[in-house]
Amino acid sequence: MSSRIENQFTVQFWGVRGSIPSPGLHTVRYGGNTPCVEMQVGGKRLIFDGGTGLHVLGQSLLRQMPIEAHIFFTHSHWDHVQGFPFFSPGFVRGNDFHIYGAIAPDGSTVEQRLNDQMLHPNFPVPLQIMQANLDFYNVKAGKPIKINDIIVETAPLNHPGEAVGYRVNWRDGAAVYITDTEHFPDRLDENVMWLARNADILIYDSTYTDEEYHSPKSPKIGWGHSTWQEAVKIAKAANVKTLVIFHHDPAHDDEFLDRVGQEAAVQFPGAIMARETMQLQVPISMPLSEPIPVSEFSA
């Protein structure tokens, strides 16, 4: 198998925490940055969400400029956009970013919402100061997006203010990014099941445990998030290979997440916990037209 970047499909985690950045001694192993996932797909760079993890990714991209990337937003709750004003490559002329997001129920575009969070008095530097080339696209959940030979499928999720789930298909591999979403009490969410079908990697909103979700004292029903137990159900029903438990609750420390990981792996051996810096490979078959490298011929 060639190791050239054009033949690779990788997934890297830069922020895995939900709701609010959670740095500290007790979250140091899984990480405290809010959602940002990078996929390198056949030489193209796709970025999902712009939580504070996007700032960390941006710092590493400064060494690789000029950069072209496609940035997909699930929605614009703070934990998914807060890293954008601190995304350093966005301020550098010569970089090129294609930015995708759905129109919100209030009618605002992703461009307007990213712009709004950078307005005085919330932030000193307006979006117009960003010197990179920024192109904005309105996503229609349900309609696919094509980037060369990459197909990004989309579907609406069940979240206050709405969110979009994404499935990246390239050659015979698929990686799926589903956050933030709440499951239904009586059935598996058909949009989630459709996106997750036979995926190599499913990244899923597992903010709570079932016990927390149904806790009689402080139930989390209606808060727009799901549980790791639901993630396991979906992964099994959709024939997923690797399930990544994601969007960790800020109250869950490293020891707690260790236990979730152990319990989840018992119920579904392909389950792993999202952790900052973790990198996964989507296995890809070589296309038939690709010549076999000479070194693989042996006597």
Residues near Zn ion (CB under 5 A):
18, 77, 79, 180
- Cβ of residue 79: shortest distance to Zn ion, in angstroms? 4
| 154 close to 144: Cβ distance less than 8 angstroms | yes
- Cβ of residue 259: shortest distance to Zn ion, in angstroms? 22
Nearer to Zn ion, 41 or 110 (CB): 110
Nearer to Zn ion, 180 or 200 (CB): 180
C-alpha span between 36 and 41 (Å, rounded):
16
Nearer to Zn ion, 102 or 150 (CB): 102
Closest CA to 205 of 187, 225, 184: 225
Burial of 109 by CB count in 10 Å (0-12 exposed, 13-18 middle, 19+ buried)?
middle
Residues paired with 147 in a beta bridge: 150
| 207 close to 225: Cβ distance less than 8 angstroms | yes
- Cβ of residue 51: shortest distance to Zn ion, in angstroms? 8
- Cβ of residue 266: shortest distance to Zn ion, in angstroms? 27
- Cβ of residue 247: shortest distance to Zn ion, in angstroms? 6
Nearer to Zn ion, 18 or 165 (CB): 18
Closest residue by beta carbon to Zn ion: 77
Q: Look up residue 197 and give its two tokens.
A: 């079908």
Nearer to Zn ion, 79 or 153 (CB): 79
C-alpha span between 182 and 226 (Å, rounded):
5
**Which of the 8 DSSP states describes residue 82?**
T
Q: Are strands 242-246 and 271-273 parallel, antiparallel or unpaired?
A: parallel
